[in-house]
Amino acid sequence: MKNDKHIDFRALRVFAAVAESETLTQAAERLGITQSAVSQAIKQLEVQTASELVIRRSKPLKLTVSGKIFIEYVQRTLADAQRVLSDIQMASKSSVPHLSVGMIDSFGEVASRQIMQRIKPFAAKLSIRTGVSGSLTEALLDHELDVLITSEPLENHPELRRYPILRDPFVMIVPDAYCRDRDVTPQWLAQNVPFVHYARQNRIGILVDLIASRLDIKLQTHFLLDSTQTLLRFVQAGHGWAIVTGLCLIRHPELLLGTKIMPLAGGSNARYLSLLCHRGELGGLPEKVARICQDIYATNLVPKLAKLAPWIDEHAYTINELPII
């Protein structure tokens, strides 16, 4: 038997079927081929891996230790191959003539370019719109947007489908002058330092007030701002401290000089971003876009956050389910 170094995908499918069957005959029937063909495929794989993969004398069939390790790689390989074929088929069909994607500013500013590059093959025409969550939500509900990446839960809209994406932790950003020779806590800051607050029509501003309520602190709000860049400038200038999320910090690292990024309540507070779309529309494309967003967050954005605050990657990660609040 020729020991070809290139493993045949058909042989991998045979092995996957054998792993799920009680006998070689059952695997052959499942695949619509002969038992002899199944045996030959398994023998070829055993020659190529230099390992016994199946205990043939066992009834039902069992995998050896090597076979159990091998099947994990086989299943991942077959799944990846199926995703590649699906992506290519979707791109070749140009199944979506125009895809309109909405993103809240804090995510769109740091990820929109990469997302656009990754989803271009799946739409003949692509547009991305960023802004505050309220106006984007209205655009989605009015069908001006096809999908929306937002922190708004919109739980009262059963016509929408939700795909969880990521956890974006809240942190404190404090001028260096307030961090010298003292234990800096939210309680001490709230009592002694002015607070720079997001405008309350901003989703983050609303969540900051909820966090303050949970921590039982009263913020001495001196400034209400609707721009992350302006808010960071105020903190950098020493006008007060602020509570922001990790994503808000990536865009303007130069505005973090002279400040400290500090954990807030052990990282227990976060906002959760999801992709929302109308049910029954766009097929599997929304889930694919959500996966792309997760990949960009995990491989590109979280490492940037970790450079700013090495401890933050423990609290910033992708999610497949939203927490029960």
Domains of the chain and CATH, by start: 9-90 (1.10.10.10), 168-267 (3.40.190.10)
Rounded to an integer, what distance in angstroms lies between the CA atom of residue 193 and that of residue 210? 19
Give 188's pLDDT tier (boundaries 50, 70, 90): very high
Beta carbons within 10 angstroms of residue 161's beta carbon? 18
Q: What is the mean pLDDT of residues 71-97?
A: 71
Rounded to an integer, what distance in angstroms lies between the CA atom of residue 54 and that of residue 60? 11
Q: What is the mean pLDDT of residues 310-324?
A: 89
The share of the chain scoring above pLDDT 90, in percent, equals: 53
Cis peptide before 263 (omega within 30 of 0): no
pLDDT digits (tens, 9 = 90+) for 136-156: 999 999 999 999 999 988 888
What's residue 186's pLDDT?
A: 94
Give 1's pLDDT tier (boundaries 50, 70, 90): very low
Give 282's pLDDT tier (boundaries 50, 70, 90): confident
Q: Is the pLDDT of residue 89 over 80?
A: no
Q: Is the pLDDT of residue 253 over 80?
A: yes
What's residue 120's pLDDT?
A: 87
Q: Where are the alpha helices (DSSP H) in the chain?
A: 9-19, 24-31, 35-49, 65-93, 105-119, 133-141, 186-192, 203-214, 228-236, 246-250, 285-296, 302-308
What's residue 178's pLDDT?
A: 92
Bridge partners of residue 201, in order along the sequence: none
Beta carbons within 10 angstroms of residue 284's beta carbon? 11
Q: Which two tokens stand for residue 291?
A: 């996966």
**Tokens 């497949």 found at:** 320
Give 88's pLDDT tier (boundaries 50, 70, 90): low
